[in-house]
């Protein structure tokens, strides 16, 4: 049985203020928790029902994870899910990558991201919906994208809804928050920068480089003028739909990201 202090601490982590204070976040569900245990993340504690502990005993011992047995009533007191899982983990938030103005001015980007100029990266501006953000983590993971560069007004990656929607991809994709215009300026034209727009060249006919940055803007505002100034390739996803009721006005940001990245990967496969 969990103590009241344990329950209070776990529930506090549902609020960003306390995630920032304690440098911890919540993860729920067997697949998500086991992915995080196997990753480089440090696990502060696992609260699980007896059967889950029995099924994962070898992994728990290998990783020296602190585990607390919890019954279904305990889980109901700490879960964020409508349908509670049998396991919840408290995970340490790693130290953020330092992309302060001073660092950006004095340190080469390849020192911080050694493979940046030899890979495809995703950049998100103003993505505020946790489900969308988590889905884009899954998309990046699926297509082998290592780095996700985010504007400071994107939703927090350790928001429980983001973590849940990522389905474990939060353990494998590096998420960095920074002032994006400064980051793109630091690139100094050494990588092509692509962005999705309502006007642009069709993604299916545009020449696409193997390496570069893909910017996805918010559904409400698209890519800001500030970032658009750095775009060297404007991409458009053409619609093929036509019914008596017209066609969809636009694509969900996560769907657009999947379509664009899939086309980049198809060209080099």
Question: If you write DSSP's letter for every residue of 129-153 in order, what string do you get?
Answer: -HHHHHHHHHHHHHTT--EEEE-TT
Query: Running DSSP on this structure, what letter comes out for residue 243?
Result: B
Cα pseudo-dihedral 109, 123, 238, 251, rounded to 10: 180
Model confidence at 160: pLDDT above 60: yes
The CATH class, in words, for 101-268 is: alpha beta
Average pLDDT over residues 64-81: 95
Q: What is the mean pLDDT of residues 129-137?
A: 96
Task: Residue 81: name the closest of 141, 159, 160, 183 by CA.
Answer: 160
- pLDDT bracket for residue 243 (50, 70, 90): low
Q: Whole-prediction pTM value? A: 0.92
Q: Where are the domains of the chain?
A: 4-92, 101-268
Given this model, what pLDDT does residue 215 score?
98
Length of the chain: 269
Superfamily grouping for domain 4-92: Ribosomal protein L30/S12 (3.30.1330.30)
Question: What's the pLDDT score for residue 16?
Answer: 97
The pLDDT of 154-167, averaged and rounded, is 96
Q: So what's the pLDDT on residue 219?
A: 84
- Summarize the confidence of residues 220-248 as an average pLDDT: 84
Collapsed DSSP state (helix, strand, coil) of residue 229: coil
């Amino acid at each position: 049985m969990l103590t009241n202090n344990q329950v209070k601490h776990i529930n506090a982590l549902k609020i960003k203020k306390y995630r920032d204070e304690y440098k911890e976040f919540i993860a729920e569900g067997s697949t998500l928790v086991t992915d995080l245990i196997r990753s480089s993340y440090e696990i502060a504690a696992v609260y699980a029902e007896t059967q889950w502990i029995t099924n994962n005993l070898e992994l728990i011992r290998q990783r020296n994870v602190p585990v607390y047995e919890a019954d279904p009533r305990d889980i109901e007191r700490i879960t964020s899910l409508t349908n509670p899982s049998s396991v919840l983990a408290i995970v340490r938030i790693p130290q953020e990558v330092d992309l302060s103005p001073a660092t950006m001015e004095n340190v080469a980007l390849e020192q911080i991201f050694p493979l940046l100029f030899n890979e495809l990266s995703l950049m998100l501006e103003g993505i505020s919906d946790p489900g969308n953000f988590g889905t884009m983590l899954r998309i990046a993971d699926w297509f082998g994208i290592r780095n996700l560069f985010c504007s400071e007004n994107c939703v927090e990656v350790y928001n429980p809804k983001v973590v849940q929607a990522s389905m474990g991809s939060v353990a494998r994709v590096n998420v960095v928050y920074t002032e994006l215009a400064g980051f793109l300026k630091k690139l100094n034209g050494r990588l092509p920068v692509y962005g999705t727009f309502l006007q642009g060249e069709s993604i299916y006919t545009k020449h696409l480089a193997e390496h570069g940055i893909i910017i996805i803007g918010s559904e409400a505002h698209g890519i800001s003028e500030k970032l658009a100034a750095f775009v060297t390739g404007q991409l458009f996803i053409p619609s093929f739909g036509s019914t008596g009721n017209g066609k969809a006005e636009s694509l969900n940001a996560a769907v657009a990201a999947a379509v664009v990245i899939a086309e980049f990967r198809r060209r080099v496969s």
